[in-house]
Structure 1
């Protein structure tokens, strides 16, 4: 039995917060009937102009400046938490105590201790507590995974992945919370958490890591004079500079429990690459490649053709692949999609789980978000130990 309606709210009206807002606004237009009415109730942000503007843009009823107003509101059932990592625990625990379902952006917390406390707080509540690993919602990623688990590729032997961005390349771009927190909570957790999750999505749990290097290339940044959204460099800065406390670049190798090997490269100072996530999987039965800049396609090679005409072939995503049929206004082959749709499909999955429906793959749980941080903790420990092998706890 599903509930009559679900009131939703988003805490955090910055870049990723707007993606969540758009996801909720669009989710009810997808797939089969049966989802309860979705009420777009509130947006909260400590900076009131952001909250008001986001509420207006995405059709939410009201704007708030304090997350506690969201927790106390009887007309809100489900909340996305999309704020700085160090704020997650207090907000999430407060929402859970108020009986709200929670979708918390990755990384779940700054470190393992906070993530464990959040996971413990969610246990036994009967509430949906999900972690926002949106790349899992990619049709291409899931099409490749289907070929690994049920198709021609079979067990992955080597996962090679990168997530290269340039939002931190300019040394005079303003200081923000992303550059605070100890080594191991910079680029590694900000964008590397997605890459680690994808590696495990294909290969299963990471058993150990080694050869980790964490490097800070920009030692300090100017203090902003105003409030910036996301990675924006438009805000004015002063003459005072503050030290960058975490890494710009992270590289490491991993051994997966199934025997596969992983090689990973993460950077927020990769000039000219705004959002370059990509990976290769090399399997017993072939290989596949994915590039986020071309999200509606992937490249596949297997043993289905004779050697004289075999090789990599481009596969354009369509209704035969996950999420597309009923998941786009034009669910026709080759229409295409982008990263914004990942958030829409994630929101739909979150809402369906709340409604007691069992039609889409579930979102990642808090337990998976906690495990992701345990891998990051092991990578950090390896880097501090000169690259020695560290077992994931």
Structure 2
């Protein structure tokens, strides 16, 4: 009989569903020597968390996260909550000796991130920050191509993360639009993913210059007692101030001499979840678009003259990381599969007592870049990291 690791999850909305699916699917598609068990789900609303647990197969529920993290039958705490709630839960979980699978961005401040990392290391628990895009086969293959010298010395990084879900001024003042719960807007939420990919594929960032913009300064306050999706009927007449950025643009230099740019916005009409990056080097180039997440575009300067041009690499063959565990070549996978890959790697790290990337030290570096961007936007000066 395989060894088991019992998982307790805090949070049952969007990320709770994505994480639950990953815990369930991982042992079905990957040969895992240790089986994750969906032991308990936690949320403040007992009726809602019970419905969630019954639907996804969690054995038990809790309505108090403090009880969950101290349960002796829990090995792993999965934090699937907004970033303002990560700090306290992560500290308590680490002190209780639980391994931590945490949603991004890591924390509200670098001071919090430093303490979270310190406590995890002191208690010798495995800590993972779920920047899941690293684990799409195409991005993982891009990393290998770079390490193999396929594009040579990197000169340029260009990245954009674009969404459009708050273009309508009638969209309500949700937690993502308030500094006390989100810290910042797309600079925090979206650029955290973008900066992680830049660190992963290019290297550490040295300097940051940034500007931010706020297009809609007030929004209707939602009825917190309304159930279901936010709609016009759940909005009151009272307006509240938007206290985070609506868009952020960063220019950076990397420690290896490359230069880069980041655009993060929720006002790109027609863009639902478009994360693109372009990497240009001395021997070639690689580009990626999350909305076509099984593909890479690759250009090689070493192709014969007259035959050069960008070509598509479909990252669904066994040669691409993780792809061999899914479907025959050409049968594409989706957004949720990167979460599965993260669970597989995380459980392996816990079992072997090794680290997994990105971890809380990576999360700290990301927060430091994001904070530098906000300081630059405020002072209108370049910030050295």
Q: TM-score range by the shorter chain?
A: over 0.9
Cα drift, residue 97 of structure 1: 1.4
Please give the alpha-carbon distance, in whole angstroms, between the structure 2 residues aligned to 1:338 and 1:67.
31
Deviations 1:30-76 (A, max 9, x none): 33342x22211111122334322321221111222221121122211
Whether 1:81 and 2:86 are equivalent positions in the alignment is no
Residues 31 and 325 of structure 1 are in contact (CA less than 8 Å); yes or no, is this contact kept in structure 2? no
Cα drift, residue 390 of structure 1: 0.5
Residues 250 and 261 of structure 2 are in contact (CA less than 8 Å); yes or no, is this contact kept in structure 1? yes
Residues 184 and 377 of structure 1 are in contact (CA less than 8 Å); yes or no, is this contact kept in structure 2? no
Q: 2:254 aligns with which of 253, 256, 274?
A: 256
Equivalent residues in 2 for 1:289-304, closer than 5 Å: 289-304=287-302
1:381 matched residue in structure 2: 375
CA 54–146 in structure 1, closer or farther in 2 if over 3 Å, else same = same
Deviations 1:344-373 (A, max 9, x none): 111111111111177xx9231111101100
Q: Tell me the number of residue pairs that the alignment of Structure 1 and Structure 2 aligns.
A: 382
- Please give the TM-score of this superposition, normalised by the length of structure 2: 0.94
Deviations 1:286-333 (A, max 9, x none): 00110111111111110242121210001111211111112x2x2x21
Please give the alpha-carbon distance, in whole angstroms, between the structure 2 residues aligned to 1:131 and 1:155.
28
For structure 1, the residue ranges without an aligned partner over 5 or more in a row are none
Residues 14 and 50 of structure 1 are in contact (CA less than 8 Å); yes or no, is this contact kept in structure 2? no
Equivalent residues in 2 for 1:268-307, closer than 5 Å: 268-307=266-305
Please give the alpha-carbon distance, in whole angstroms, between the structure 1 residues aligned to 2:149 and 2:225.
49
Whether 1:334 and 2:333 are equivalent positions in the alignment is no
Please give the alpha-carbon distance, in whole angstroms, between the structure 2 residues aligned to 1:184 and 1:260.
29
Cα drift, residue 174 of structure 1: 2.1
Deviations 1:160-202 (A, max 9, x none): 0000011222222222221111796211111110001111111
SS in 2 for 1:29: helix
SS in 2 for 1:377: helix
Residues 276 and 289 of structure 2 are in contact (CA less than 8 Å); yes or no, is this contact kept in structure 1? yes
CA 195–269 in structure 1, closer or farther in 2 if over 3 Å, else same = same
For structure 2, the residue ranges without an aligned partner over 5 or more in a row are none
Q: 2:351 aligns with which of 349, 355, 378?
A: 355
1:368 matched residue in structure 2: 362
Please give the alpha-carbon distance, in whole angstroms, between the structure 1 residues aligned to 2:243 and 2:37.
41
- Please give the TM-score of this superposition, normalised by the length of structure 1: 0.92
CA RMSD of aligned residues (A): 2.0
Residues 126 and 353 of structure 2 are in contact (CA less than 8 Å); yes or no, is this contact kept in structure 1? no
1:99 matched residue in structure 2: 97
